[in-house]
Amino acid sequence: MTVLEAAAILTAGFWAGMINVVVGSGTLVTFPTLLLLGHSPLVANVSNNIGLVGGGITGTFGYRHQLTGRGRNLRQLLPAAVLGGITGAVLLLVLPAGAFRMIVPVLIALGVAMVLLGPALQRRAARGRDPDSAHGRLATLTRPRLVAVLLGVYLLGIYGGYFGAAQGILLVGLMSALTTEGMQSITGLKNLLTTAVNAVAAVTFLLVSPELVNWVVVALIAAGATLGGVVGARVGRRLPPTLIRILIAVIGTAAIVRLLIFT
């Protein structure tokens, strides 16, 4: 690995850590960057997942005030997210590597589409609801709606453990559509849940297939993402969302082209 390549991965990790806190699609910066630098899709996915855990921890800590007093909600949501993350990680390891390689361009395209369509979907989900109303918050949901939320968190945990790009955006969309939680509360919950999914998936990868881990890549992404998580929690909301989405779209598209032409 050259110094320039290391700098590119470190920078991508920083952006991913910051974007994950604010938007929730940092994998669409780091993963395509690793592909563009010649890393195999499976090694890139596993190493990226482990490296981003640090950024999730610092980002969650930055939103700790939004999680205060949410013990009951977390006891409901975290098990669903953790079980989903383990399921997704196991699926990634037991399914043929060729299957993941074939589906990667589709997953990246789906993630980019969710990033670009995210604002419109969130506005549509929020239309007609009162964010200050207690009715419809997680603590007061009817049993059917709570079951729907938990099932959605579990399914998105599977997606997060398997690949994870734009998992945060999908979680925000889910909770925006099914609850009346405020956006800051949803963001805090999203940061914790995605971090939990990444963490349990990382442990699964380390226990089952440690040979897929590129520790140099992990260290570079972890260093960048951890700092990016701190910055994202403090000042990341000031970045123009359009700029972030354009960056993700450009890098994601470049990675798809490279996969389709050179693999």
Q: How far apart are CA 110 and CA 229, in angstroms?
A: 24
Which residues are CB-neighbours of 187 under 8 A, at least 6 positions away?
Answer: 21, 63, 66, 172
Output the pTM of the full model: 0.79
Mean pLDDT of 96-105: 76
Give the residue extent of every domain in the chain.
Answer: 3-262
Query: Has residue 211 got a pLDDT over 90?
Result: yes
Q: What are phi and psi of 79, to 5 degrees?
A: -60, -40
Q: Return the structure tokens found at 251.
A: 């890098």
Widest distance between CA atoms in the chain: 55
The pLDDT tens digits of the residues spanning 148-169 come to 999 999 999 998 899 877 788 7
pLDDT range class, residue 134, cuts 50, 70, 90? very low
Can you list the alpha helix ranges (DSSP code H) found in the chain? 3-22, 27-36, 41-51, 53-62, 64-67, 71-94, 97-126, 143-162, 167-178, 183-208, 215-234, 241-262
Angle between helices 167-178 and 97-126 (to 10 degrees): 40
Q: What is the percent of the chain with per-residue pLDDT over 70, rounded to a whole number?
A: 84
The 8-class DSSP code of residue 137 comes to: S
